[in-house]
Amino acid sequence: MRKITDIFARKRRTLSFELFPPKTAPGARRLFETAETLAELAPDFFSVTYGAAGSTATGTLRIAVELQERFGIPVLHHYTCIGHTRAVIRQCLQVMAQSGIRNILAMRGDPPRDRPNYRPGPDEPRFGHELVRLIREFGDFFAVGVPGFPEKHPNTPTQELDSLYLKVKQDAGAEFVITQLFFDNEDYHGFVRRVRRAGVTIPILPGILPITDYDKLVNFCRLCGATLTEPIRRTFEPIRWDLRQTRARGIDVVARQCRELLEAGAPGLHFFCLNHSEPTATIVKSLKLLAV
């Protein structure tokens, strides 16, 4: 299976879709129906998320492998180090390699939900760059990506320090970045400028969240620490009870956001699909991304 870094080397722009492991059998069926629809858009890769402290570890690997086998499209396997010893991490990486996974998004991850005061043990990595170094023990077998935070990570005091942390991950072996969601494109452009000043040279893919339900959007942003901008509030709060109008206006707003990012030189788009093909498919088709 292809590595994402090889795709970056030959394409000016990439298209990718993020899915998450469902908890039920009907959810699993919907996920693969969604993937089948999205596969028709010829994405460069899918990605599959990984629950806090490895809570979806088995599901993530199973779905990643099945997506690759069904559609012949590379899958980016999210992986976190919180709650795992170095021995367990090395064992999991070996299983991924044997299963045909060539792409990993390396993250520190969130603590277990039932242990908010969790502290890593003596043989458990504490930071994302340590996980990147463990993955690099496999040489160049894996392409390694890391997350990026346009506004800065919520737990990092300053943007400057946040930029330096990303440089540490690059120095450890990270090869590309996928950002958290944002709604002000200047947040993305400012992020790119500041990490470039810090010496980060790897590709930075903007993460895009389609808008379909304002109340869920508010909650989603609160959970992940992303700013819900005033223009978004003014546009969607008055129609929060009208999901049809919210969806239609959301397509216009997000398509415009994507178009501006591509015109400004973004190396692609990474959509957080939430296991639905729409409205992502409509947005992608409106951009004619595949023709450029």
Which residues are known to be catalytic?
Answer: 18
Phi and psi (nearest 5°) for 145?
-110, 165
- What Cα–Cα distance (Å) separates residue 206 from each residue in 191, 232, 244, 261? 10, 18, 26, 8
Q: First vs last Cα of the chain: how many Å apart? A: 24
Length, in residues, of the chain: 292
The secondary structure element, H or E, covering residue 253 is helix 243-263
Q: Which of 288, 262, 287, 281 lies closest to 212 in space, CA to CA?
A: 281
| Number of helices followed by number of strands (H, E) in the chain | 11, 8
What does the CA dihedral 227, 231, 237, 239 come to, rounded to 10 degrees? -140
Under 8 Å between Cβ of 12 and 44: no
CA 75: distance to chain centroid?
12
